Structure 1
Amino acid sequence: MQPGDVQDLLDRGCTVVVLSRGMRLRLRTMPETLKVLEDAGVEVHVEETTRAVALYNSLAETEAVGGLFHSTC
């Protein structure tokens, strides 16, 4: 994932972001993307898609959470 991929989440005020790596862990997140989120003070979780969805659903009960999920790779 690239920095531009998370900008909408930041613009919407997310304080926590969950990023998926795909079902087979093939998707990668650029270090620059993680830096953008870190600089914004956002808590970041990078997980396999099934775990990412479960984590997102749990966090959504109490946090301003956003997520980017990929299930095909």
Structure 2
Amino acid sequence: MGLDRDRHRALPGIQPADVEELLARGATVVVLSRGMRLRLEVDPRTLTLLRERGVEVRVAETTEAVRVYNELAGTTAVGGLFHSTC
């Protein structure tokens, strides 16, 4: 029996509560990974929250998200949420 790909869609995705710790720790840029196959969604309320707080948001596939995070980590208060599957 195979994996039901539609059922496995990661909804409702990254929620505002998921980024609260990053904000509390002073992140000025947040990198959000949507997974290797871009199946994890980002709740629009999460993006709104980050932008309202003046935080730059980068959303990408996991490999790209890791690259962006590493590029910024030496010079920027960056936080990240990385989804390794999907």
Q: What TM-score results when the alignment is normalised by the length of structure 1? A: 0.99
The percent of aligned pairs where both chains have the same amino acid is 68
User: Which structure's CA Rg is the greater one?
Assistant: 2
2:35 corresponds to:
22
Among 61, 64, 70, the residue aligned to 2:77:
64
- Tell me the alpha carbon deviations over residues 15-44 of structure 1, each in whole angstroms, 9 at most, x when there is no partner: 000000000000010000000000100000
Equivalent residue pairs, number: 73
Q: Which has the higher strand share?
A: 2
Counterpart of 1:45 in structure 2: which amino acid? R
Mapped partners of 1:48, 1:66: distance in 2: 16
Q: Which has the higher contact order (CA 8 A, sep 6+)?
A: 1
What is the aligned-residue RMSD (CA, Å)?
0.4
- Unaligned runs of 5+ residues in structure 1 are none
Mapped partners of 2:48, 2:29: distance in 1: 14
Structure 1 residues 41-60: aligned runs within 5 Å: 41-60=54-73
Aligned to 2:40, the other structure's residue is in SS state coil
Structure 1 runs of 4+ aligned residues shifted over 2 Å read none
State the shift of 1:61 in Å: 1.2
Counterpart of 2:40 in structure 1: which amino acid? L
